[in-house]
Structure 1
Amino acid sequence: MTEIEQVTVSMDGFEVNSYVVHAPEGDVIVDAGAEPEKILGAVRAPVVAVLITHAHADHVGALDAVLRETNAPLYVHPDAAEGTGVGVYEPLDEGQVLDLAGETFRVLHTPGHAVGSVTFVVGRDQIVGDLILPGSVGRTDIDGASWEDLEISLRKVMPLWEDGTRLYAGHGPVLLASEQLENNPYLPPVLP
Protein backbone atom coordinates (compact mmCIF):
# COMPACT_ATOMS: atom_id res chain seq x y z
CA MET A 1 0.00 0.00 0.00
CA THR A 2 1.47 3.33 -1.07
CA GLU A 3 1.74 6.13 1.50
CA ILE A 4 2.50 9.76 0.69
CA GLU A 5 4.39 11.37 3.57
CA GLN A 6 4.47 15.15 3.86
CA VAL A 7 7.80 16.59 4.98
CA THR A 8 7.53 20.29 5.80
CA VAL A 9 10.87 22.07 5.50
CA SER A 10 11.90 25.67 6.02
CA MET A 11 13.75 27.88 3.55
CA ASP A 12 14.68 31.25 5.04
CA GLY A 13 11.76 30.93 7.47
CA PHE A 14 9.34 30.10 4.64
CA GLU A 15 7.68 26.69 4.94
CA VAL A 16 7.40 24.44 1.90
CA ASN A 17 6.31 20.82 1.54
CA SER A 18 8.41 18.04 0.16
CA TYR A 19 6.92 14.56 -0.16
CA VAL A 20 8.28 11.06 0.16
CA VAL A 21 6.08 8.53 -1.60
CA HIS A 22 6.55 5.18 0.12
CA ALA A 23 5.67 2.83 -2.74
CA PRO A 24 5.66 -0.98 -2.62
CA GLU A 25 9.18 -1.34 -4.07
CA GLY A 26 10.98 1.81 -2.92
CA ASP A 27 10.63 5.51 -2.24
CA VAL A 28 10.08 8.48 -4.57
CA ILE A 29 10.90 12.03 -3.45
CA VAL A 30 8.80 14.89 -4.82
CA ASP A 31 10.07 18.50 -4.55
CA ALA A 32 13.33 18.68 -2.62
CA GLY A 33 12.77 22.18 -1.28
CA ALA A 34 15.19 22.65 1.64
CA GLU A 35 16.72 20.82 4.60
CA PRO A 36 17.92 17.76 2.66
CA GLU A 37 18.74 15.90 5.88
CA LYS A 38 15.08 16.19 6.97
CA ILE A 39 13.79 14.93 3.60
CA LEU A 40 16.28 12.07 3.54
CA GLY A 41 15.40 11.27 7.16
CA ALA A 42 11.87 10.39 6.01
CA VAL A 43 13.17 7.86 3.48
CA ARG A 44 12.46 4.23 4.39
CA ALA A 45 13.65 2.40 1.28
CA PRO A 46 15.99 3.00 -1.67
CA VAL A 47 14.99 6.16 -3.55
CA VAL A 48 14.23 5.22 -7.16
CA ALA A 49 13.43 8.72 -8.47
CA VAL A 50 13.23 12.41 -7.60
CA LEU A 51 10.31 14.29 -9.17
CA ILE A 52 9.82 18.05 -9.41
CA THR A 53 6.41 19.74 -9.69
CA HIS A 54 8.02 23.07 -10.68
CA ALA A 55 11.41 24.70 -10.42
CA HIS A 56 10.84 27.67 -8.13
CA ALA A 57 13.73 28.01 -5.67
CA ASP A 58 11.66 26.95 -2.65
CA HIS A 59 10.89 23.62 -4.35
CA VAL A 60 14.40 22.76 -5.57
CA GLY A 61 16.70 24.26 -2.93
CA ALA A 62 17.82 20.86 -1.62
CA LEU A 63 17.80 19.13 -5.00
CA ASP A 64 21.57 18.88 -5.51
CA ALA A 65 22.12 17.39 -2.07
CA VAL A 66 19.24 14.92 -2.42
CA LEU A 67 20.40 13.77 -5.86
CA ARG A 68 23.97 13.35 -4.57
CA GLU A 69 22.83 11.29 -1.58
CA THR A 70 20.35 9.07 -3.42
CA ASN A 71 21.98 8.78 -6.85
CA ALA A 72 18.39 8.66 -8.16
CA PRO A 73 17.34 10.01 -11.57
CA LEU A 74 15.62 13.40 -11.73
CA TYR A 75 12.28 13.76 -13.56
CA VAL A 76 11.24 17.27 -14.57
CA HIS A 77 9.26 18.95 -17.36
CA PRO A 78 11.65 20.37 -19.99
CA ASP A 79 10.19 23.88 -19.57
CA ALA A 80 11.24 23.80 -15.89
CA ALA A 81 14.56 21.98 -16.29
CA GLU A 82 16.73 25.10 -16.46
CA GLY A 83 15.45 26.23 -13.08
CA THR A 84 16.72 23.07 -11.41
CA GLY A 85 20.35 23.75 -12.30
CA VAL A 86 20.70 20.04 -13.13
CA GLY A 87 21.91 19.17 -16.62
CA VAL A 88 20.85 15.53 -16.85
CA TYR A 89 17.21 14.63 -16.30
CA GLU A 90 14.33 12.49 -17.53
CA PRO A 91 11.77 14.69 -19.32
CA LEU A 92 8.15 14.69 -18.19
CA ASP A 93 5.29 15.19 -20.63
CA GLU A 94 1.50 15.54 -20.56
CA GLY A 95 -0.25 12.21 -20.09
CA GLN A 96 2.96 10.30 -19.42
CA VAL A 97 2.67 7.37 -17.02
CA LEU A 98 5.67 6.54 -14.87
CA ASP A 99 5.95 3.15 -13.20
CA LEU A 100 8.22 3.83 -10.24
CA ALA A 101 8.87 1.47 -7.34
CA GLY A 102 5.69 -0.49 -8.09
CA GLU A 103 3.45 2.60 -8.15
CA THR A 104 2.00 4.51 -11.09
CA PHE A 105 2.51 8.26 -11.39
CA ARG A 106 0.42 9.93 -14.10
CA VAL A 107 1.82 13.25 -15.29
CA LEU A 108 -0.42 16.23 -16.08
CA HIS A 109 1.20 19.38 -17.47
CA THR A 110 -0.34 22.12 -15.29
CA PRO A 111 1.34 25.49 -15.95
CA GLY A 112 -0.04 28.78 -14.70
CA HIS A 113 1.89 29.40 -11.49
CA ALA A 114 5.17 28.46 -13.16
CA VAL A 115 6.29 27.28 -16.57
CA GLY A 116 6.76 23.55 -16.76
CA SER A 117 4.58 22.87 -13.71
CA VAL A 118 3.20 19.36 -13.46
CA THR A 119 0.76 17.52 -11.24
CA PHE A 120 1.36 13.88 -10.33
CA VAL A 121 -1.72 11.66 -10.03
CA VAL A 122 -1.06 8.77 -7.65
CA GLY A 123 -4.09 6.53 -7.32
CA ARG A 124 -6.99 8.92 -6.70
CA ASP A 125 -4.72 11.51 -5.05
CA GLN A 126 -2.74 14.36 -6.62
CA ILE A 127 0.59 15.99 -5.78
CA VAL A 128 -0.21 19.46 -7.09
CA GLY A 129 2.79 21.65 -6.20
CA ASP A 130 1.58 25.25 -6.08
CA LEU A 131 -1.34 24.78 -8.47
CA ILE A 132 -3.77 24.67 -5.53
CA LEU A 133 -3.11 25.97 -2.03
CA PRO A 134 -5.35 25.97 1.06
CA GLY A 135 -8.33 28.13 0.05
CA SER A 136 -6.32 29.62 -2.79
CA VAL A 137 -4.23 28.88 -5.88
CA GLY A 138 -0.65 29.58 -6.92
CA ARG A 139 0.34 33.18 -7.52
CA THR A 140 0.03 34.48 -11.06
CA ASP A 141 1.62 37.91 -10.50
CA ILE A 142 5.18 36.64 -10.99
CA ASP A 143 7.40 35.99 -14.01
CA GLY A 144 6.27 33.07 -16.15
CA ALA A 145 2.85 32.92 -14.49
CA SER A 146 -0.53 33.26 -16.19
CA TRP A 147 -4.06 33.23 -14.75
CA GLU A 148 -5.43 31.92 -18.07
CA ASP A 149 -3.01 28.98 -18.02
CA LEU A 150 -3.73 28.34 -14.35
CA GLU A 151 -7.47 28.14 -15.00
CA ILE A 152 -6.93 25.66 -17.85
CA SER A 153 -4.73 23.57 -15.55
CA LEU A 154 -7.33 23.61 -12.77
CA ARG A 155 -9.97 22.44 -15.25
CA LYS A 156 -7.64 19.57 -16.16
CA VAL A 157 -7.16 18.24 -12.61
CA MET A 158 -10.59 18.90 -11.09
CA PRO A 159 -12.59 16.32 -13.14
CA LEU A 160 -10.32 13.60 -11.74
CA TRP A 161 -11.32 14.35 -8.14
CA GLU A 162 -13.27 11.62 -6.38
CA ASP A 163 -14.73 11.33 -2.90
CA GLY A 164 -11.74 11.21 -0.61
CA THR A 165 -9.21 12.57 -3.12
CA ARG A 166 -6.35 14.24 -1.26
CA LEU A 167 -4.36 17.14 -2.72
CA TYR A 168 -0.73 17.33 -1.64
CA ALA A 169 0.09 21.02 -2.04
CA GLY A 170 3.41 22.83 -2.01
CA HIS A 171 2.47 24.80 1.12
CA GLY A 172 0.12 24.14 4.02
CA PRO A 173 -1.68 20.97 5.10
CA VAL A 174 -2.83 18.08 2.95
CA LEU A 175 -6.16 19.11 1.44
CA LEU A 176 -9.37 17.24 0.75
CA ALA A 177 -10.51 18.00 -2.79
CA SER A 178 -14.17 17.98 -1.70
CA GLU A 179 -13.49 20.70 0.88
CA GLN A 180 -11.64 22.81 -1.69
CA LEU A 181 -14.59 22.51 -4.08
CA GLU A 182 -16.84 23.90 -1.36
CA ASN A 183 -14.58 26.54 0.16
CA ASN A 184 -11.91 27.64 -2.33
CA PRO A 185 -13.20 30.77 -4.11
CA TYR A 186 -10.42 30.64 -6.71
CA LEU A 187 -11.44 27.34 -8.27
CA PRO A 188 -13.34 27.72 -11.55
CA PRO A 189 -16.88 26.35 -11.76
CA VAL A 190 -16.99 22.67 -12.69
CA LEU A 191 -18.16 22.44 -16.27
CA PRO A 192 -20.96 19.94 -17.07
Structure 2
Amino acid sequence: MIIKKLEVGPIMANCFILGCESTKEAVVIDPGDDADRILMELGKSNLKVKYLINTHGHFDHVSANKRMKEATGAQIAIHPEDEPMLHELSQSALMFGLASENSPPADILLKDGDEVTFGEITLQVIHTPGHSKGGISLYTKGHLFSGDTLFAGSIGRTDLAGGDYDTLISNIKEKLLIFDDDTIVYTGHGPETTIGNEKRMNPFLR
Protein backbone atom coordinates (compact mmCIF):
# COMPACT_ATOMS: atom_id res chain seq x y z
CA MET A 1 0.00 0.00 0.00
CA ILE A 2 1.22 3.46 -0.90
CA ILE A 3 0.91 5.87 2.04
CA LYS A 4 1.61 9.58 1.68
CA LYS A 5 1.13 12.11 4.47
CA LEU A 6 0.61 15.84 3.97
CA GLU A 7 0.17 18.46 6.66
CA VAL A 8 -2.49 20.80 5.29
CA GLY A 9 -4.12 24.06 6.23
CA PRO A 10 -3.41 26.60 8.95
CA ILE A 11 -4.08 24.09 11.76
CA MET A 12 -1.68 21.55 10.19
CA ALA A 13 -4.10 18.64 9.94
CA ASN A 14 -2.76 15.38 8.56
CA CYS A 15 -4.12 14.35 5.17
CA PHE A 16 -3.33 10.82 4.00
CA ILE A 17 -3.22 9.50 0.46
CA LEU A 18 -3.55 5.72 0.35
CA GLY A 19 -2.96 3.97 -2.95
CA CYS A 20 -3.13 0.41 -4.24
CA GLU A 21 0.18 -0.34 -5.92
CA SER A 22 -1.38 -2.85 -8.33
CA THR A 23 -4.42 -0.92 -9.57
CA LYS A 24 -3.42 2.69 -8.77
CA GLU A 25 -6.83 3.27 -7.17
CA ALA A 26 -6.62 5.55 -4.13
CA VAL A 27 -8.47 7.22 -1.31
CA VAL A 28 -7.75 10.53 0.34
CA ILE A 29 -8.38 10.61 4.09
CA ASP A 30 -9.17 14.06 5.50
CA PRO A 31 -8.55 16.50 2.62
CA GLY A 32 -8.45 19.43 5.01
CA ASP A 33 -7.03 22.10 2.70
CA ASP A 34 -4.37 22.69 0.02
CA ALA A 35 -6.18 20.79 -2.74
CA ASP A 36 -3.47 21.67 -5.25
CA ARG A 37 -0.79 19.97 -3.14
CA ILE A 38 -2.93 16.87 -2.70
CA LEU A 39 -3.60 16.68 -6.43
CA MET A 40 0.09 17.11 -7.19
CA GLU A 41 1.01 14.20 -4.91
CA LEU A 42 -1.64 12.03 -6.53
CA GLY A 43 -0.25 12.88 -9.94
CA LYS A 44 3.31 11.97 -8.94
CA SER A 45 2.22 8.39 -8.25
CA ASN A 46 -0.35 8.27 -11.07
CA LEU A 47 -3.13 7.55 -8.57
CA LYS A 48 -6.85 7.83 -9.32
CA VAL A 49 -8.97 8.82 -6.34
CA LYS A 50 -12.07 6.74 -5.68
CA TYR A 51 -13.14 8.14 -2.32
CA LEU A 52 -12.59 11.22 -0.14
CA ILE A 53 -13.00 9.85 3.37
CA ASN A 54 -13.69 12.30 6.19
CA THR A 55 -12.85 10.93 9.65
CA HIS A 56 -15.08 13.68 11.06
CA GLY A 57 -16.71 16.92 9.98
CA HIS A 58 -14.45 19.63 11.44
CA PHE A 59 -13.38 22.18 8.86
CA ASP A 60 -9.64 21.54 9.24
CA HIS A 61 -10.17 17.97 7.98
CA VAL A 62 -12.66 18.52 5.16
CA SER A 63 -12.16 22.00 3.67
CA ALA A 64 -10.75 20.67 0.38
CA ASN A 65 -13.72 18.35 -0.22
CA LYS A 66 -15.29 20.67 -2.80
CA ARG A 67 -12.20 21.27 -4.90
CA MET A 68 -11.06 17.66 -4.68
CA LYS A 69 -14.45 16.37 -5.79
CA GLU A 70 -14.56 18.83 -8.67
CA ALA A 71 -11.07 17.83 -9.79
CA THR A 72 -11.34 14.06 -9.39
CA GLY A 73 -15.01 13.08 -9.31
CA ALA A 74 -14.30 11.06 -6.16
CA GLN A 75 -17.14 10.27 -3.78
CA ILE A 76 -17.27 11.97 -0.37
CA ALA A 77 -17.76 9.57 2.55
CA ILE A 78 -18.50 10.48 6.18
CA HIS A 79 -20.46 9.17 9.16
CA PRO A 80 -24.11 10.35 9.10
CA GLU A 81 -23.86 12.09 12.47
CA ASP A 82 -21.17 14.45 11.13
CA GLU A 83 -22.60 14.90 7.62
CA PRO A 84 -24.59 18.05 8.55
CA MET A 85 -21.31 19.75 9.50
CA LEU A 86 -20.21 19.68 5.86
CA HIS A 87 -22.75 22.40 5.06
CA GLU A 88 -21.55 24.73 7.85
CA LEU A 89 -17.79 24.82 7.22
CA SER A 90 -17.55 28.50 6.33
CA GLN A 91 -19.34 29.45 9.55
CA SER A 92 -17.34 27.09 11.78
CA ALA A 93 -14.01 28.22 10.30
CA LEU A 94 -14.96 31.85 10.83
CA MET A 95 -15.25 31.18 14.57
CA PHE A 96 -11.47 30.54 14.49
CA GLY A 97 -10.79 33.56 12.28
CA LEU A 98 -10.24 31.34 9.23
CA ALA A 99 -11.95 30.70 5.90
CA SER A 100 -13.38 27.51 4.43
CA GLU A 101 -15.62 26.48 1.56
CA ASN A 102 -18.73 24.50 2.38
CA SER A 103 -18.52 20.91 1.18
CA PRO A 104 -20.86 19.21 -1.26
CA PRO A 105 -23.15 16.70 0.45
CA ALA A 106 -21.80 13.25 1.19
CA ASP A 107 -22.18 10.56 -1.45
CA ILE A 108 -21.69 7.74 1.05
CA LEU A 109 -22.70 7.58 4.73
CA LEU A 110 -20.34 5.28 6.61
CA LYS A 111 -21.45 3.21 9.58
CA ASP A 112 -19.55 1.13 12.12
CA GLY A 113 -18.46 -2.12 10.51
CA ASP A 114 -18.67 -0.88 6.93
CA GLU A 115 -15.81 -1.58 4.56
CA VAL A 116 -14.26 0.75 1.99
CA THR A 117 -12.41 -0.99 -0.83
CA PHE A 118 -10.05 0.57 -3.35
CA GLY A 119 -8.04 -1.66 -5.62
CA GLU A 120 -6.90 -4.66 -3.57
CA ILE A 121 -7.10 -2.84 -0.22
CA THR A 122 -10.01 -2.76 2.22
CA LEU A 123 -10.44 -0.35 5.12
CA GLN A 124 -12.67 -1.26 8.05
CA VAL A 125 -14.79 1.60 9.39
CA ILE A 126 -14.81 1.93 13.19
CA HIS A 127 -17.21 4.45 14.73
CA THR A 128 -15.21 6.21 17.46
CA PRO A 129 -17.27 9.17 18.72
CA GLY A 130 -16.08 11.41 21.53
CA HIS A 131 -14.22 14.13 19.64
CA SER A 132 -17.33 14.49 17.50
CA LYS A 133 -20.51 12.42 17.36
CA GLY A 134 -19.66 10.98 13.96
CA GLY A 135 -15.94 10.45 14.36
CA ILE A 136 -14.55 7.34 12.70
CA SER A 137 -11.25 5.49 12.55
CA LEU A 138 -10.12 3.32 9.65
CA TYR A 139 -8.20 0.05 9.91
CA THR A 140 -6.39 -2.24 7.54
CA LYS A 141 -3.97 -4.86 8.85
CA GLY A 142 -1.05 -3.15 10.59
CA HIS A 143 -2.37 0.36 9.93
CA LEU A 144 -4.90 2.46 11.86
CA PHE A 145 -6.01 5.95 10.79
CA SER A 146 -7.46 7.49 13.93
CA GLY A 147 -8.50 10.99 12.86
CA ASP A 148 -8.76 13.19 15.96
CA THR A 149 -9.67 10.28 18.24
CA LEU A 150 -6.18 9.22 19.33
CA PHE A 151 -2.86 11.09 19.16
CA ALA A 152 0.71 10.23 20.11
CA GLY A 153 0.61 10.67 23.89
CA SER A 154 -2.76 12.38 23.84
CA ILE A 155 -6.40 12.21 22.75
CA GLY A 156 -8.78 14.41 20.77
CA ARG A 157 -10.27 17.43 22.48
CA THR A 158 -13.77 16.96 23.82
CA ASP A 159 -14.82 20.55 24.49
CA LEU A 160 -16.32 21.19 21.05
CA ALA A 161 -19.94 20.53 20.09
CA GLY A 162 -20.64 16.81 20.12
CA GLY A 163 -17.59 15.99 22.20
CA ASP A 164 -17.67 13.78 25.27
CA TYR A 165 -14.63 12.71 27.29
CA ASP A 166 -15.97 9.46 28.73
CA THR A 167 -17.27 8.36 25.34
CA LEU A 168 -13.92 9.06 23.71
CA ILE A 169 -11.90 7.16 26.31
CA SER A 170 -14.19 4.13 26.22
CA ASN A 171 -14.09 3.98 22.42
CA ILE A 172 -10.30 4.18 22.35
CA LYS A 173 -9.95 1.42 24.94
CA GLU A 174 -12.65 -0.86 23.59
CA LYS A 175 -12.25 -0.37 19.83
CA LEU A 176 -8.66 0.74 19.13
CA LEU A 177 -6.40 -0.70 21.82
CA ILE A 178 -7.59 -4.19 20.81
CA PHE A 179 -5.28 -4.13 17.79
CA ASP A 180 -1.77 -5.60 17.84
CA ASP A 181 0.83 -3.53 19.67
CA ASP A 182 2.86 -3.02 16.48
CA THR A 183 -0.10 -1.50 14.61
CA ILE A 184 0.96 1.91 13.30
CA VAL A 185 -1.43 4.72 14.26
CA TYR A 186 -1.66 7.59 11.76
CA THR A 187 -3.17 10.50 13.67
CA GLY A 188 -5.16 13.55 12.59
CA HIS A 189 -2.44 15.90 13.87
CA GLY A 190 1.17 15.31 14.78
CA PRO A 191 3.42 12.26 14.42
CA GLU A 192 2.59 8.59 14.00
CA THR A 193 2.65 6.25 16.96
CA THR A 194 1.80 2.60 17.67
CA ILE A 195 -0.91 0.91 19.69
CA GLY A 196 1.76 -0.52 21.99
CA ASN A 197 3.26 2.90 22.66
CA GLU A 198 -0.13 4.35 23.56
CA LYS A 199 -0.95 1.46 25.89
CA ARG A 200 2.31 2.03 27.75
CA MET A 201 2.84 5.78 27.58
CA ASN A 202 -0.43 7.66 26.97
CA PRO A 203 -1.38 9.30 30.30
CA PHE A 204 -5.06 9.45 29.34
CA LEU A 205 -5.29 5.68 28.87
CA ARG A 206 -3.69 4.36 32.04
Query: Which residue type is aligned with residue 156 of structure 1?
Result: K
2: distance between equivalents of 1:3 and 1:176? 19
Counterpart for residue 34 of structure 2 = 35
Counterpart position of 2:51: 49
**Separation in 2, partners of 1:123, 1:3:** 14
Query: What stretches of structure 1 of length at least 5 have no aligned partner?
Result: none
1:123-176 CA-partner distances (Å, limit 9, x unpaired): 22110000011210000112110012102210211102x142111101001112
Shift of 1:95: 0.8
Please, what TM-score do these two structures have when normalized by structure 1? 0.91
Q: Is the 8 A contact 1:48 1:101 kept in 2?
A: no
1:138 maps to 156
Structure 2: distance between partners of 1:87 and 1:95: 22
Encode CA deviations 1:103-137: one digit per residue, 9 max, x unaligned.
Answer: 11100000000111000002221100000112100
Of the structure 1 ranges 138-147 and 97-106, higher mean CA displacement relative to structure 2 is found in: 97-106
| SS of structure 2 residue aligned to 1:42 | helix
Residue segments in structure 2 that go unaligned for 5+ positions in a row: 88-103
Compute the RMSD of aligned alpha carbons.
Answer: 1.3
Q: Aligned partners of 2:61 and 2:161: how far apart in 1?
A: 16
Residues 91-110 of structure 1 aligned to structure 2 (within 5 Å) = 91-110=109-128
Does the aligned pair in 1 maintain the 2:65–2:76 contact within 8 Å? no
- Superposition pairs of residues 38-187 of structure 1, within 5 angstroms: 38-43=37-42, 44=45, 45-85=47-87, 86-154=104-172, 155-160=174-179, 162-187=180-205
Look up the equivalent residue of 1:77 and give its one-letter code. H
Aligned residue-pair number: 184
Question: Aligned partners of 2:117 and 2:147: how far apart in 1?
Answer: 20
Does the 8 A contact of 1:7 with 1:42 survive in 2? no
TM-score, scaled to structure 2: 0.85
